[in-house]
Amino acid sequence: MKKRASLPAPLRPVLAFAFWIGVWWIISAIVGSEVLVPSPPAVAVRLFALFGTAEFHLSVLFSVLRITAGFASAVLIGTVTGILCAGSKTADALLSPLFGVIKATPVASFIILALVWINKEIIPVFISALMTLPVIHGNVREGILKTDVQLIEMARIFGLSRKQKLLKIYLPSVSPYLTAGVRTSLGLAWKAGVASEVLCFAALSIGNKLYQAKVYLETADMFAWTVTVIVISMIIEKILMSLITAYQKRKRYDGNKKPEKSV
């Protein structure tokens, strides 16, 4: 049986990107109104024009700082609570309803409540962390609970220290779950963070620029800022995943490396 011809791996994302740009262009041509659906060239022109302004770079910078701060806080807190709930049934019983409420409550409700509680410039940090927290918590908790019981028993028999158990058993078990949680929640942090910037009118933010474009019916600008969010989110995810992969490879190399014999 003949093998089906397939495209080279590097070409697949390029062709997929070109396909969806073509779909977008066709829809724009069918609608026939740049106000409703601007064409890809019109959006590209506005994006390059915005890119040449200092306000664009400051808005992107402050949005990145706010959302990254919220995401990093969620990873730290979620890891701690995940470990706590995996090791204590009481803590798990107390915190599980809280995370359930966070997952079930609409983002807009939290943003409106946050407008009453805290300064509007901090709201994107708070919302990004809040929406990301249940994902990180759940994945860390699940990774610990799924740790091989036989490995834990073997560690106890051989008298491994807590540090050795953490590095040799629990960390390798939790790592895939945490990596999956980070990948999933990073996009969620950006969606929630930009949405909060829109509703709280945070100064020098992508969300604020999206709102202004909507008010003045500058649809090409709305598309340009949306493309900016997508591109930045993808770049940050790529960098973060590359760092995690490099760290995991280094740890595997260090674990497999044989100790040198003394002469």
What span, in angstroms and rounded, lies between the C-alpha atoms of 196 and 124? Answer: 5
From first to last of its 263 residues, what are the pLDDT tens digits of the chain? 455 556 666 677 778 888 888 888 899 888 888 888 888 899 999 999 999 899 999 999 999 999 999 999 999 999 999 888 888 889 889 988 888 888 888 888 888 888 888 888 888 999 999 999 999 998 988 888 887 667 666 767 666 666 666 666 777 777 888 888 888 888 888 888 898 888 888 888 898 999 898 888 888 999 999 999 988 888 888 888 888 777 667 766 555 554 444 44
User: Which of 212, 261, 198 lies closest to 66, judged by CA?
Assistant: 198
Cite the DSSP H helix spans in the chain. 11-31, 40-51, 54-87, 89-104, 107-117, 123-145, 149-157, 162-165, 171-200, 206-215, 219-256
pLDDT computed for residue 263 by the predictor: 40
Position 85 in a domain: yes
Position 251 in a domain: no
Q: pTM of this prediction?
A: 0.80
Helix (H) or strand (E) holding 6: none
pLDDT computed for residue 60 by the predictor: 92
pLDDT computed for residue 253 by the predictor: 57
What span, in angstroms and rounded, lies between the C-alpha atoms of 139 and 144? Answer: 9
Q: Provide the residue range defining the domain that includes 138.
A: 45-242
Position 6 in a domain: no
Question: What one-character DSSP code corresponds to residue 39?
Answer: -
pLDDT computed for residue 5 by the predictor: 53
pLDDT computed for residue 48 by the predictor: 92
131: its two tokens: 């929406």
Position 53 in a domain: yes
Position 25 in a domain: no
Helix (H, G, I), strand (E, B) or coil at 9: coil
pLDDT computed for residue 261 by the predictor: 44
Position 33 in a domain: no
Task: Write the CA distances from 115 to 30, 70, 98, 124, integer angstroms.
Answer: 41, 16, 21, 11
Position 52 in a domain: yes
**What's the total number of domains in the chain?**
1
Question: The CATH number of the domain where 51 resides is what?
Answer: 1.10.3720.10
Position 224 in a domain: yes
